[in-house]
Amino acid sequence: MIHKLKCWPGPFLATSEGRKTHEVRRCDDRMFDEGDILCLEEYIPSAAERGDGSGQKKGHFTGQQVMVRVTYITSPETFGLPHGVCVMSVRRV
């Protein structure tokens, strides 16, 4: 399965460079599984999304993408994470 996900610029760059090899995501609204592909789409958040509260400019996608494969999932049931949150180990495709 392929999941398209927003990814803010800092984590996007780190993933595309191979320095970031995990994704922390809410998993109560999606069914992630080992072997899935995550299509991370670079997204510039609005001021409100960043939490600085200044301006009303809308966030936007840059058109840049990086594809990663989920190699392992740590879920709340297996390691005491908050309910609805998982940590996925990923590798660039």
Q: What is the mean pLDDT of the chain?
A: 91
Q: What is the mean pLDDT of residues 28-43?
A: 94
CA distance 64 to 78: 33
DSSP string, 64-76: EEEEEEEEEEE-H
pLDDT, tens digit (0-9, with 9 covering 90-100), for 36-55: 999 999 999 988 888 776 66
**Per CATH, which fold does 2-92 belong to?**
2.30.130
Determine the pLDDT at residue 54.
64
Q: What is the mean pLDDT of residues 61-66?
A: 97
Sequence letter at residue 20: K
Distances (CA, A) of 44 to 9, 60, 69, 72: 7, 5, 23, 28
pTM over 0.95: no
Residues 6+ apart with CB under 8 A from 14: 20
CA distance 53 to 73: 34
Q: What sign results for the dihedral spanned by CA atoms 73, 78, 80, 82?
A: positive
